[in-house]
């Protein structure tokens, strides 16, 4: 299986680039700029709620779990695959 990697344009794009890469992996082309808008990314980056909101708008099920690491689970719904993000809060 080929793996895609969408690069971030600046230091605030990590969440948007991650979601864009996941979309690309599943055959959906969503650019980083559009995902930044969906997630409400600002000069400080994207917060966990913004990532969940954007992922949901893109058709994924996303869950935030608050613990010592702050993990965001993204369920792709394809082959029961989970993707883990470490979110700085």
What does the alpha-carbon distance between residue 72 and residue 30 come to, in Å, rounded to a whole number? 20
What does the alpha-carbon distance between residue 10 and residue 8 come to, in Å, rounded to a whole number? 6
Active site amino acids: 14
Q: Is 87 exposed, middle or buried (0-12, 13-18, 19+ CB in 10 A)?
A: buried
């Amino acid at each position: 299986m080929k793996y895609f990697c969408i690069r971030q344009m600046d230091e605030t794009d990590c969440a948007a680039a991650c979601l864009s890469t996941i979309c690309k992996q599943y055959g959906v082309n969503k650019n980083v700029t559009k995902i930044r808008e969906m997630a409400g990314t600002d000069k400080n980056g994207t917060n966990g709620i913004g990532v969940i909101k954007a992922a949901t708008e893109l058709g994924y099920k996303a869950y935030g779990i608050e613990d010592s690491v702050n993990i965001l689970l993204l369920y792709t719904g394809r082959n029961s695959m989970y993707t883990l993000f470490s979110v700085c809060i």
